[in-house]
Amino acid sequence: MLAHDRARAAGGRFLLRIDDLDRSRCRAEWEARIFDDLRWLGLAWPEPVLRQSARLPRYRGALRSLWGRGLLYPCRCTRADIRAAASAPQEGAPLHGPDGIIYPGTCRPRTAPTGPMPDGMALRLDMARAVRLAGENLKFLDNGVEIRVPDLVETVGDVVLARRDLGASYHLAVVLDDADQQITDVIRGEDLRDATRIHVLLQRLLGLPVPAYHHHRLIRDAQGRRLAKRDDARAIATYRAEGARPQDIRAMVGL
């Protein structure tokens, strides 16, 4: 609703995008509910909507470009492997970044891999090489304030850009989608603020424009917990069934 309001106030367009790379978590009826709920709230957008599942060749092309520049390497580690390596006694307490535990570099090669890019494997960004290539002058606008990106090697680590089961990670997909849709303003929750540093780096590496960002506060319950599906948060349809109006939802979230 905030993105829609701001786009209309600026004379721009509000775009709806379906992030459906993880097909195991996608169902037609859930997507239909998204459209129905948003239209009930008074939102409108151009059709057809962009679907990430239809853009895998685009993501693959960007991965090949990064691979050819020696910025990616294959990784066979599971999440359990990463937890174990990062929690080893000699490592101390594991450090956390935007993607959870910062990768300890188990599969990172001494020299950049050569030859064709492998299929069906997770691919990580060699953050140290990427930062050297992109330069240190990375910055973006967040709520109109210029933010300079801090040290990505120590605070983010080698993030996954291609998952073996999905083809591309959120970080890579959203950066390419924003550029291809000519997005000028990204409006999203403050839980993604730290991830924006990764996106600005990828934009620099891929020669893409950097949009302005607005990270808004999160909607929380009475106990201060962020509303999320994993916590069985109430759906908009539940409020609708109880007689709520769109303006009631707006008031509830402070709009």
How confident is the model over 137-163, as a mean pLDDT? 93
pLDDT at position 120: 85
Q: Which residue type, as a one-letter code, is found at position 130?
A: A
Looking at residue 213, the DSSP 8-state letter turns out to be: E
Cis peptide before 116 (omega within 30 of 0): no
pLDDT at position 231: 59
Question: Could you read off the pLDDT of 96-109 as tens digits, one per residue?
Answer: 899 889 999 999 99
Task: Write b or e for each residue in 23-62: b if 16 or more Cβ atoms lie within 10 A of its Cβ, otherwise e.
Answer: eeeeeeeeeeeeeebbeebebebeeeeeebeebeebbeeb
Residue 168 CA to residue 202 CA, distance in Å, equals: 13
Q: Is the pLDDT of residue 59 over 80?
A: yes
Most confident of 99-108, 123-132, 134-143: 123-132
- What is the DSSP pairing of strand 50-51 with strand 17-18? parallel
- DSSP run (H or E) holding 155: helix 152-155
Which one, of 118, 20, 19, 135, lies nearest residue 63 by Cα? 118
Residue 27 CA to residue 48 CA, distance in Å, equals: 18
> What pTM was estimated for this model as a whole?
0.92
pLDDT at position 86: 80
pLDDT at position 67: 98
Q: Is the pLDDT of residue 222 over 80?
A: no
Q: Is the pLDDT of residue 92 over 70?
A: no
Kindly give, in sequence order, each residue whose CB lies less than 8 Å from that of residue 14, ignoring residues fewer than 6 positions away. Answer: 3, 4, 7, 8, 43, 44, 45
Percent of the chain with pLDDT over 90: 73
